[in-house]
Chain A
Amino acid sequence: MHKNRLGAYLFSFPSFFLTAALGIYPIVWALRYMFYDYQGYGEPRLIGFGNFARLARDAEFWQSVANTFVYAGGKLVITLPLSLILAVILNRKLKGRHLFRAVVFLPTIFSASVMSIVFYLIFNSYNGILNQYLLELQLVSVPVDWLGASKAMLTIVIIAVWGAVGNYMLLFIAGLQSIPEEVYEAASLDGVNPAQRLWYITIPMLGPVLQMIVMLAITTSLKGYESIMVLTEGGPFGKTEVMYLYLYKLFFPLTTTGTSVQNIGYGSAVGFTTAVIVGLVTWLYFWMSRKLNNLY
């Protein structure tokens, strides 16, 4: 018994150590500095809730929050139905379904930054592949600025959907495979059509799985910023600035002249607030979707 406990401690030590060092310590570090004015050098100056008062007045931050909801909303609205439909199709005993699943899942394993560079080659206005095709087919007369102010958000949402759909499809397939075949057989005897099967059997019986998948999709979407940083750096003039990119720039300012000053105190307050926003949205979602747990 004693040996068992020791083994458990030893096994859990590495993960505890890494969680404490790389997860808990930085959070505690940031929690402290959000009450300070600190640029990374000199003595931190205690300012109480000064950073939060500034944040309340910071129109740029709230614009980035609004942009985040547009980005996350757009991504979710397209990704979730698309992944579910793909999962339902590829869950059938079709020829080549494993190949299709692999193809759809493939984007998930690529680095978001690397793929964003590839997408830049596709979408950029001067020699992007997409524009070349559109010009060749005479669908446009001048190159479309896919990453310009009016279309940049749409473009990054499309790229985000491309990167996410395979992952959620796989999770949906796992959920679908947990639904007993007998239920569908009984429904067939009752003469239900495919749409009724999906709406009245599949979705309700996915209940708890669906709730988890949507929760994961919401948190991931709200925290996404990597591909945006590569593609637009939050521009033009803040049109695609999302809250985690805004936060990143406070800690690691992007500079063209070499001179950059970190904003650790304010950044910590922004970091805490963004975490609260993501937490609140997730909680709200759980509360609104609590009935999903009762369906299955």
Chain B
Amino acid sequence: MKRTFGNKYAFTLCGLLILALLMAACSSANGGESEANAGNGDEQSGATQDKLKISYWTMDRHDMDYMQQKVDEYNATNTDNIEVEMKVMADNYNQAVDVAFASNQAPDVLKVNDFQTYVNKGYLASLDELLDAEFLAQFDGLLAENVYKLNGKVYTLPNTGQYWRLLYNVDLMEQAGFSEPPKTLDEMVDAAKKITEIGKSEGIYGFASNFKNGSGFTRPAYASGSLDSETSHEGYNYQTGEFDFGMYRDVVEALRRIKTDGSMIPGAESLDIDPLRAQFAQGKIGMYINHSSEPAVYTSQFPTDIRWASALVPTSDGVIDGASWVNAGGYLGISANSANKEAAAKFIKYVYSQELRNDYQEKGLGLSVLPFVNESAGKPELAGIDGFLPTQYDGIYPATPISITETKLEGKKAADVFIQYILTGSPDLDAAIGDLNDQYAKALAAARAEGLTNIEADPSFNAGNLQGSLAAK
């Protein structure tokens, strides 16, 4: 009797469990799958009954309130009966996108966080057929291959960018006897040393970078290197189509001297960017190099009373041969699997409307790389933004093959090798650069042989020609 009861109980329990598993497996949970005419009289109001629903995913949290407000306005005012559902995804955005596409739940419109991977995986629809020529003409001269276009087809469009600058504590600079920020790397080393001399007893140091990960190297090196070089960015020489990390020799040596002088803040080896910012806000750091997110950081995340400013990053000789790298990846794309591509394209046109983009810029939510915005929008309402505003020296570089090359790399990545040298003085820098060039050349050759990249040498490339592309000379 007891056993019979047990079996019945087991059947019921297992039956329910299986049912639950099957239901969970079959449900779509609306991760983004479009629902055209999904109205249901019992669950939805009459007003939304016939709406064409599209989903929009983004990873941007800094502007989520503003964008949600604009999406709500669009939903209330558009005459195409489109309703956009915006979702701000947490960390691991690329993985969330992968899972969404793998499970056929991809959003109709998505923030393009990793252009080459998304296009190569077939996630994105070409925008050439979805957006009219007049609209696309606004982006003439900006649509770099492998950044927004692949094989001549446009998959995403530029919007805002990160403009890289040297941030410095004005008071510390003045106390150290400098009336203006350094223009050469030698001057930067000297300023860091003098600031440390006057401030060390109070825990003040001349320079910092966050060497916890590779960006401790890439932040200063990419910014200075791109301004310094006519030919190269991210260690890749566009003219020869090969890697040559010799472009970072001067900046690496400068950072090494800062370290050996004792001007680098203690703990830089394990420093993350937020603790670095916190110390800068407390007036403990003389200089560091970062991008145009910083004014918002010192307004809301780490409010500060210190007098700080920003300037173009120093170069080896103070001469600007290239252009300051602007990190301006793609913004929005349309899912290749979307059943509502036309509605998605209409929403994208709304997001790129002059009024919205100008308002966005003026509110200090991001600095545009679009000339039609930079020419007409007012100055952003954000303390400290002045030094980051687009100059003639800023430019968007074509993509380099560094990411795909590093999947074939046998040995340490360039950033790790350079950080080791900066912090320890070994290995020998010239030998390390030679070894990196050899290893990256082999890896790039393998990637090209397998057709994993279409980026080839462009003998006509000159980074100096990028000057004036985002702001008039």
Q: Which residues of A contact B (CB under 8 A)?
A: 3-4, 6-7, 10-11, 13-14, 17, 37, 39-42, 45, 54, 57-60, 124-127, 142-143, 145-149, 152, 232-233, 235-238, 252, 254, 256-263, 266
On whether the beta carbons of A259 and B269 are closer than 8 Å, the reply is: no
Report the minimum CB–CB distance from A255 to chain B (whole Å): 8
B117 contact from A233, A259, A263, Cβ within 8 A: A259
**With contact pairs A259-B117, A260-B94 given, residues A124 and B275 touching in the complex (Cβ less than 8 Å):** yes
Interface of A: prevailing SS: loop
CB-CB < 8 A to A263: which residues of B?
Answer: 407
B2 close to A (CB within 8 Å):
no
Q: Which one of A126, A146, A237 contacts B416 once the chains associate, using CB atoms below 8 Å?
A: A237
* Pair A260/B117 contact, Cβ less than 8 Å: yes
Given A13-B18, A126-B265, A260-B403, A236:B450 Cβ within 8 A: no
Contacts A143-B267, A252-B95: A236 and B212 contacting too (C-beta < 8 A)? yes
Closest chain-B Cβ to A294's Cβ sits at a distance in Å of 40
Instruction: Determine whether the beta carbon of A261 is less than 8 Å from that of B117.
Output: yes
Q: Given A39-B404, A124-B275, A152-B270, does the pair A233, B213 have CB atoms closer than 8 Å?
A: yes
Task: Please tell me if B10 contacts chain A, counting CB pairs below 8 Å.
Answer: yes
Output the least CB separation between A241 and chain B (Å): 9
Instruction: Take A17-B21, A41-B122, A54-B410 as given contacts and tell me if A145 and B266 are in contact as well, using a CB distance cutoff of 8 Å.
Output: yes
Q: Which residues of B contact A (CB under 8 A)?
A: 3-4, 6-7, 10-11, 14-15, 17-18, 21, 92, 94-95, 98, 113-117, 120-122, 211-215, 218, 265-267, 269-271, 275, 278-279, 284, 327, 329, 403-404, 406-407, 410-412, 416-417, 419-420, 423-424, 450-452
Task: Please state if A256 and B423 are interface contacts (CB–CB under 8 Å).
Answer: no
Q: Is A258 within 8 A of B329, CB to CB?
A: yes
B15, B271, B412, B452: the one within 8 Å of A238 (CB): B412
- CB contacts (< 8 Å) of A143 on chain B: these are 266-267
B284 nearest in chain A by CB position: A126
Name the contact of A142 in the complex, choosing from B15, B95, B98, B266 (C-beta under 8 A).
B266
Complex CA distance for A257 and B402, rounded to whole angstroms: 11
Contact between chains at A39 and B452 (CB < 8 Å): yes
| B329 contact set on A, CB distance < 8 A | 258-259
Contact A259 B115 (CB under 8 A): yes
With a cutoff of 8 Å between Cβ atoms, the chain B residues found around residue A257 in the complex are 218, 327
Are A42's CB and B452's CB within 8 A? yes
Contact residues of B: prevailing secondary structure: helix
Residues of A with C-beta under 8 A to B270? 124-125, 145-148, 152, 232, 235-236
Docked pose: A126 CA to B275 CA in angstroms:
8
**25 A–B contacts from the bound complex (CB under 8 Å):** A7-B6, A10-B11, A11-B10, A13-B18, A14-B17, A17-B21, A39-B404, A40-B117, A42-B120, A54-B410, A57-B410, A125-B266, A125-B267, A126-B267, A143-B267, A149-B424, A152-B270, A233-B213, A235-B213, A235-B269, A236-B423, A237-B412, A237-B420, A256-B214, A260-B94
Closest to B269 in A: A148
B173 CB → nearest A CB, Å: 21
| Chain B residues closer than 8 Å to A149, beta-carbon distance | 269, 423-424
**Known contacts A126-B266, A126-B278, then 13 further A-B pairs from the complex at CB < 8 Å, ordered by chain A residue:** A13-B14, A39-B404, A40-B121, A42-B452, A59-B412, A126-B267, A126-B271, A126-B284, A148-B269, A257-B327, A259-B114, A259-B116, A266-B407
Which residues does chain A contribute within 8 Å of B451, judged by CB atoms?
42
Q: How far is the CA of A14 from the CA of B424 in the complex (A)?
A: 54
Contacts of B14 in A (CB 8 A): 10-11, 13-14
Inter-chain contact A256/B218, CB cutoff 8 Å? yes
What A residues does B275 contact at CB under 8 A? Answer: 124, 126-127
